[in-house]
């Protein structure tokens, strides 16, 4: 097994699959611009590898979402660039030649959940908590997460989940089909990835295309502009700074 650690990202090449982990344990794997750039770089570099990819988080935690320390200081233009970076990462996941598996543990919130929704299969530990709770801070999904969420659950439920800021447990997430399966240890995820390494890449792309067709093309520029609007008024920064000073 070969391991590569770069800033905020850890990449491990196993015999039959590739694992990419968010690695900011001191920040609960919060996703900042540097994390997104690292993910985009690693995914682009390895995109020729027709093997399953497992996306996870270190320290038994996937991600609490976007790094609010960074977001609180962004201008509208910078927020738009942040969102565009996120869209680039999701597009790289959706173009990966093998099956992509997001393994969620602890918390998968906001941008963290959006990142996971770019994968084909979502697994999670029994203690996971997932949701898009950003509306209270004037944050809207920044990577097309609402559209992708609506491909897994009903459009009505996805809207309610966002508008209510609800955070779901593993059982409810499985019942509404937000998650595909609950696993009790990382070996089960490794076994799943190895099993899927035999899948024909053309078949993987064909199955994935059905899922992508459901939400249709997501325009990164339009999505990024919508994300930036609360930053243009200063409302988002004001609420985030109030949260930080608490």
63-118 pLDDT, tens digit per residue, is 999 999 999 999 999 999 999 999 999 999 999 999 999 999 999 999 999 999 99
The band of 159, judged by pLDDT with boundaries at 50, 70 and 90, is confident
**Which pLDDT value is given to residue 6?**
67
Instruction: Give CA–CA dist 57/60, Å, rounded.
Output: 7
Section 186-196 average pLDDT: 96
Given the candidates 3.40.1190.20, 3.90.226.10, 1.20.1440.230, 3.30.200.20, the CATH classification of the domain at 2-245 is: 3.90.226.10
Task: Grade residue 197 by pLDDT with cuts at 50, 70 and 90.
Answer: very high
pTM: 0.95
Which residue has tokens 């609800």?
166
User: Cα(176)–Cα(195) distance, rounded to whole angstroms?
Assistant: 25
In the predicted structure, residue 229 carries a pLDDT above the cut 60: yes
Distance of alpha carbon 90 from alpha carbon 120, whole angstroms: 11
- Decide the pairing of beta strands 129-131 and 181-182: unpaired
Q: With contact defined as beta carbons under 8 Å apart, do 178 and 128 qualify?
A: no
Question: For 22-53, what is each residue's pLDDT tens digit?
Answer: 999 999 999 999 999 999 999 988 877 889 99
pLDDT tens across 1-15, in order?
A: 556 556 789 999 999
pLDDT single digits (tens) 198-228: 999 999 999 999 888 888 889 999 999 999 9
Share of the chain above pLDDT 90, in %: 83
For position 2, what pLDDT does the model report? Answer: 53
Question: Look-up: residue for tokens 């024909």?
Answer: 200
Residue 155 has pLDDT above 90, yes or no: no
Placement of tokens 């996805």 in the chain: 158
Angle at 165 between CA 175 and CA 38, to 5 degrees: 90
Domain ranges in the chain are 2-245
């Amino acid at each position: 097994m070969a391991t590569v650690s770069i800033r905020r990202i850890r990449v491990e090449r196993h015999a039959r699959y590739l694992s990419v982990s968010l690695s900011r344990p001191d920040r609960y794997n919060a996703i900042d611009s540097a994390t997104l750039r690292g993910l985009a770089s690693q995914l682009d570099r390895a995109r020729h590898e027709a093997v399953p990819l497992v996306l996870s988080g270190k320290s038994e935690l996937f991600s609490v979402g976007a790094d609010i320390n960074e977001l609180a200081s962004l201008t509208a233009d910078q927020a738009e660039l942040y969102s565009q970076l996120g869209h680039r990462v999701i597009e790289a996941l959706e173009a990966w030649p093998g099956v992509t598996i997001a393994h969620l543990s602890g918390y998968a919130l906001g941008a963290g959940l959006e990142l996971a929704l770019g994968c084909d299969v979502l697994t999670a530990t029994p203690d996971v908590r997932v949701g898009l709770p950003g509306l209270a801070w004037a944050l809207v999904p920044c990577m097309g997460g609402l559209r992708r969420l609506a491909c897994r659950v009903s459009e009505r439920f996805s809207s309610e989940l966002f508008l209510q800021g609800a955070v779901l447990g593993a059982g409810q997430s499985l019942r509404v089909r937000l998650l595909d399966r609950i696993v009790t240890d990382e070996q089960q995820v490794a076994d799943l990835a190895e099993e899927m390494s035999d899948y024909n890449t053309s078949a993987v792309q064909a199955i994935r295309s059905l899922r992508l067709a459901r939400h249709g093309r997501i325009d990164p520029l339009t999505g990024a502009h919508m994300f930036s609007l609360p930053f243009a008024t200063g409302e988002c920064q004001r609420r985030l700074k109030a949260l930080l000073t608490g």
